[in-house]
Amino acid sequence: MDMTNWSAPSHERPRGVTILGSTGSVGQSTVDLIARDPDSYRVEALVAGNSVEALAEQARRLRARLAVVANPQRYRALKDALVGTSIEVAAGPAAVVEAATRPAEWVMAAVVGFAGLESTLVAARRGAMVALANKEALVCAGQLLMDAVEVAGGVLLPVDSEHNAIFQVLEPRHRHAIDRLILTASGGPFRNASLAEMAEATPEQALAHPNWDMGAKISIDSATMMNKGLELIEAQLLFGLPGEQVEIVVHPQSIIHSMVAYRDGSVLAQLGTTDMRVPISHTLGWPSRIEGPAERLDFTNLSPLTFERPDSGRFPSLRLAREALVLGGFAPIVLNAANEVAVAAFLARRIGFLDIARIVEDVLAASGTLAGRVESVQQVHAADREARRRAEEAVQSHCLTN
């Protein structure tokens, strides 16, 4: 990907932006950044799932040209909420995809989960600068997405704090000299919990992340450490290094967001506060840097920075993700689909916390041959549907035996 031809936003040339998933945690942070300097941006489209009131407020605030709600049953509510404005209104899955085709130079891909895949691909295929906050799109259709960016001459800018950190400190001219990438993990709310305590964990306890304010799904993934497993797969795709050169280290303070270690012994790290507006602002202004509102680090007041190895015995999701990465092919799709179903079942109190990883492992084991190159989006959808069916059967079976 050629990253030299993009211009930073300016008052003379507002940057066209679209936010897919504007009412979620990352979307709200993106809206906040744009609202602080509205003359530097032209908002083409805002997309939300169901939150009509929040979406309408954002659309008015940013003077968006288009507002889209994914749930078609919410169309009339959105239309009524924006009456008297010139903002175009649309609803439904097809409208979400159409929003991604709008002529925005920069697209925030922040729709949660597998649902964000198609719109992200569409934005990539037209050569947009895609700020990727949807890790599942890359995990499930990694090569398809990377190929789309390459063919269209676009750019993929990682928004996850870990991958954004690596993106900032990885020196392309010294890629051959990289020893390893080091992804940091907070360890989540159960870092020091026993297996017995984790077995009894409630959704409320699992959602209580010690450092970050995130949506429900990613908060549960952080608690199981599946988020770090998905990020492992992401890192291999984004940076082109084999999985064995990607290390995971638990760093409870979440000050160092990730590191690149070079063969000469040098380690470059990116540090920052636990505020998603830091990596978002980096992508929003890229290749320049813009003023950001995040609190600055005060090194004289920082607590000691500590590091430890992750416990794969208590967090088997890390092992499952590495196994899926080694298997390749359709394995990451199955891993992600089974995890989404299991997380939803846990949040609905149908299964226990430790059952999430067990169900993912069972579905991976029952899925037969997973090797082979993923050639099309249709194959991705078919593999996802089948994995979700198996995962739901596993959830039902668990419910019947407990």
Is the separation of the CB atoms in 310 and 28 below 8 Å?
Answer: no
pLDDT tens-digit readout, 198-238? 999 999 999 998 877 778 888 999 999 999 999 999 999 99
User: Is the pLDDT score of 348 beyond 60?
Assistant: yes
User: What are the residues whose beta carbons fall under 8 Å from the beta carbon of 137, sequence distance 6 or more?
Assistant: 109, 114, 116, 117, 120, 121, 145
**Which pLDDT belongs to residue 6?**
37
- What is the 3-class SS of 336-397, one letter each residue? HHHHHHHHHHHHCCCCCCCHHHHHHHHHHHHCCCCCCCCCCHHHHHHHHHHHHHHHHHHHHH
| Res. 397 pLDDT band, cuts 50 70 90 | confident
Q: What is the mean pLDDT of residues 21-40?
A: 96
- What is the 3-class SS of the chain, one letter each residue? CCCCCCCCCCCCCCEEEEEECCCCHHHHHHHHHHHHCHHHEEEEEEEECCCHHHHHHHHHHHCCCEEEECCHHHHHHHHHHCCCCCCEEEECHHHHHHHHHCCCCEEEECCCCHHHHHHHHHHHHCCCEEEECCHHHHHHHHHHHHHHHHHHCCEEEECCHHHHHHHHHCCHHHHHHEEEEEEEECCCCCCCCCHHHHHCCCHHHHHCCCCCCCCHHHHHHHHHCHHHHHHHHHHHHHHCCCHHHEEEEECCCCCEEEEEEECCCCEEEEECCCCCHHHHHHHHHCCCCCCCCCCCCCHHHCCCCCCECCCCCCCCHHHHHHHHHHHCCCHHHHHHHHHHHHHHHHHCCCCCCCHHHHHHHHHHHHCCCCCCCCCCHHHHHHHHHHHHHHHHHHHHHHHHHC
Question: Which of 21-25, 47-51, 113-117, 362-366 is predicted with the least confidence, judged by mean pLDDT?
Answer: 113-117
Higher pLDDT pick, 172 / 197: 197
User: Is the pLDDT score of 11 beyond 50?
Assistant: no
**Which pLDDT belongs to residue 9?**
41
**Which pLDDT belongs to residue 180?**
97
Q: What is the mean pLDDT of residues 116-135?
A: 94
| Res. 369 pLDDT band, cuts 50 70 90 | low
**Which pLDDT belongs to residue 322?**
95
**Residues 235, 207, 299, CA angle at the centre, nearest 5°?**
65
**Which pLDDT belongs to residue 392?**
96
Using a pLDDT cut of 70, give the percent of the chain over it: 96
| Res. 1 pLDDT band, cuts 50 70 90 | very low
Tell which residue, 287, 41, 272, 290, has the closest CA to residue 157.
287
**Which pLDDT belongs to residue 89?**
98
**Which pLDDT belongs to residue 2?**
37
pLDDT tens-digit readout, 163-187? 999 999 998 888 899 999 999 999 9
Using a pLDDT cut of 90, give the percent of the chain over it: 82
pLDDT tens-digit readout, 265-293? 999 999 999 999 999 999 999 999 999 99
User: Is the pLDDT score of 3 beyond 70?
Assistant: no
Higher pLDDT pick, 10 / 371: 371
**Which pLDDT belongs to residue 131?**
98
**Which pLDDT belongs to residue 113?**
77
**Which pLDDT belongs to residue 358?**
96
CA–CA dist 341, 113 (Å, integer): 11
Q: What is the mean pLDDT of residues 49-65?
A: 97
| Res. 402 pLDDT band, cuts 50 70 90 | low
What is the chain's mean pLDDT, rounded? Answer: 92
| Res. 83 pLDDT band, cuts 50 70 90 | very high
**Which pLDDT belongs to residue 68?**
98
User: Is the pLDDT score of 126 beyond 90?
Assistant: yes
- CATH code: domain 15-159 is 3.40.50.720
**Which pLDDT belongs to residue 211?**
76
**Which pLDDT belongs to residue 401?**
67
User: Is the pLDDT score of 380 beyond 50?
Assistant: yes
| Res. 158 pLDDT band, cuts 50 70 90 | very high
**Which pLDDT belongs to residue 8?**
40
**Which pLDDT belongs to residue 199?**
95
**Which pLDDT belongs to residue 293?**
95
Task: List the domain boundaries for the chain.
Answer: 15-159
